[in-house]
Structure 1
Amino acid sequence: MTGADLPAYSFPLYSFNRLWFNTTTLRRRNFDGQIVSTHQSGSHWLKYMLSHVLAMAFDLPPPEHIQDDKIIGHPKSPTRYKNVPCIVHSHSIPHGFLKNGIADKFLRFPRYLVLLRDPRESLISHYERFKGDYGNVDFTTYLHGDPRGKKFYSDLWTRLCFMNAWGDILRSQPQRSLLLTYEGMEKDTEGNLRRTCSFFFPNLDVQDDVIRRTLELSTRDKMAKNPNKAVTTTVIRKNKKPLAEYFTPENEEFFRAACRKFLRHDFGYDLK
């Protein structure tokens, strides 16, 4: 598949099916807040920090490792502590009814924090973590992906679908959605942690000391030294190759051609 040979029907059909026939966000919504993210976009880091904030604020046991979900769980298995905000995380696509506001007339929905990362970087990170599960295909094969959404856990096409759908929500529902980027978290970790706390916990006075201690506990080195022993793949990569080693001119052209044809919201990443 080249830049001139993009999927004419399979990806639009996949996106339509995900938007209208995946009812997860309609069925599982009884939370105070939900983090939704593309894969390998910093969700473990953000959840780890928020878990420490809630643990300190409500005297809960702190997270044991970066993948600990006892405080911030999944929509299928949310953590419930009395009087503690219920926050969950997933990679879900919003149902189409959320965009047009029809569902709001009948149902209550949580606040949504949309966490993104430059898709080129997140694709590389995902590839390096899961290429063994994919039969050690080369990066070009993985980049071209499967527009039907069946071959890989996550690829370029799942990201384009996610960015289009949640970009629409951020634009149409600004009162209950917030955009956060991995790059922004790296640049100003404290500021974006405070911003996230204000969004999810508007009635909670998060003390400066809680923020300070959370940041001290959530450095890359400290998190990497305390992995989830039940998981064999690496969550935090230490050795990174240059972007150009993966995105050759041919791969870059294919990637940009796909974005030009199918992506509605590039969130300032200059992807087209």
Structure 2
Amino acid sequence: MTYAARVWNDNWMNFSVLRHGAFDGFLVTSKNSGTHWVKYMFAVALADTYGIERPKYFSENAVRPYIGWPKDDPVFPELPRLAFSHTIPHRLADWGWARRLARLPPYALCVRHPMSILASHHAKWEYDIQVDWLEYLKGDPDGKRYRCDLYWLARFWNRWGEVETAFPASILRVQYEGTRADPAGTLDAIARHWGIALKPDAITAAVAAGTKDAMALKVDPDAEPNVLQNRQQSLETLFSGEAMDIYTARVRELFRHDLGYDFLTPPKA
């Protein structure tokens, strides 16, 4: 399968967006963009606001009763119905009549600088993919070799960039770097976008629960490893020489939307 064929398949054969109408708010995240962190903090804030138990861990399964998969049944009926996905939306999401028919919810679109995503993903999954940094950066146009690479990021970026351009009021773009700088502000903005009134003290408690030290005490022994991994090399080191040449060529070839990022400058956060 060529890259063009993979893009066509993503755009026209992924009908998961039709399930989104059942939800009050939907969190869409690019890979390795603080998904566990944001979901866990928001789940804690929900729990404290609505007076229910907090998630025991920050793992995906522990947080699913609060922000679940689109196929999940509600666990806490008093909570607003929320879901998350890494989905690349069908072309139906571009058409006003289809959006109204499907009753698509407001989306919080969580993204991160592609350099950070790639470095984090390789550090997290190197034990599994077993390829060196340069080989990984070259990517796989077919989308079968890696969970996330530059080709996957381009497909995700371009589709959500198209939807955001067409329906800007429906999308709240949440950059990981901004969340790092102001996690309370991010939680409040997402809640407001979804029409949820989180209590201020619940947001404060959620931010405290979302520090790396606090989350290290909430590791699910049955969850995937390396979620709290710490990358050893700087982005400036990783994206230099041949690596930067490969990255720059792919970015210029594949990406049509930047979602607010300067792709060629490493982020400070």
If the length of structure 2 is used for normalisation, what is the TM-score? Answer: 0.91
2:186 and 2:263 map into 1 onto residues whose CA distance is 24
- For 2:11, the equivalent position in structure 1 comes to 19
Name the structure with the higher helix share.
2
User: Is contact 2:46-2:202 (8 Å) kept?
Assistant: no
1:185 and 1:146 map into 2 onto residues whose CA distance is 30
Alignment of 1:148 onto 2:135: no
The alpha carbon displacement at 1:246 in A equals 2.2
Equivalent residue letter for 1:45: W
Alignment of 1:193 onto 2:187: yes
- For 2:173, the equivalent position in structure 1 comes to 179
Equivalent residue letter for 1:221: D
Equivalent residue letter for 2:254: F
1:42-53 to structure 2, matched below 5 A, reads 42-53=34-45
Q: Which of the numbers 238, 241, 244 marks the counterpart of 1:249?
A: 241
1:122 and 1:79 map into 2 onto residues whose CA distance is 31
1:227-246 to structure 2, matched below 5 A, reads 227-246=219-238
Equivalent residue letter for 2:30: T
Q: Runs (4+) of structure 1 moved beyond 6 Å?
A: none
User: Is contact 2:49-2:202 (8 Å) kept?
Assistant: yes
SS in 2 for 1:131: helix
The alpha carbon displacement at 1:262 in A equals 1.7
Q: Which runs of 5+ in 2 are unaligned?
A: 265-269
Q: Which of the numbers 115, 123, 126 marks the counterpart of 1:128?
A: 123
The alpha carbon displacement at 1:78 in A equals 4.7
Q: Greater CA deviation, 238-247 or 140-149?
A: 238-247
Equivalent residue letter for 1:77: D
User: Is contact 2:58-2:215 (8 Å) kept?
Assistant: yes
User: Is contact 1:31-1:87 (8 Å) kept?
Assistant: yes
1:140 and 1:103 map into 2 onto residues whose CA distance is 42
- For 2:57, the equivalent position in structure 1 comes to 65
Equivalent residue letter for 2:245: E
2:133 and 2:86 map into 1 onto residues whose CA distance is 22
Q: Which of the numbers 81, 86, 99 marks the counterpart of 2:76?
A: 81
- For 1:170, the equivalent position in structure 2 comes to 164
- For 2:106, the equivalent position in structure 1 comes to 111
- Count of residues in correspondence between the two structures: 261
Residues 149-178 of structure 1 show CA distances to partners (whole Å, capped at 9, x for unaligned) of 111112111111000001111111122211
If the length of structure 1 is used for normalisation, what is the TM-score? Answer: 0.90
CA RMSD in angstroms, aligned pairs only: 1.7
- For 1:210, the equivalent position in structure 2 comes to 202
Cα–Cα, structure 1 residues 111 and 105, in superposed 2: closer, same or farther, change >3 Å?
A: closer
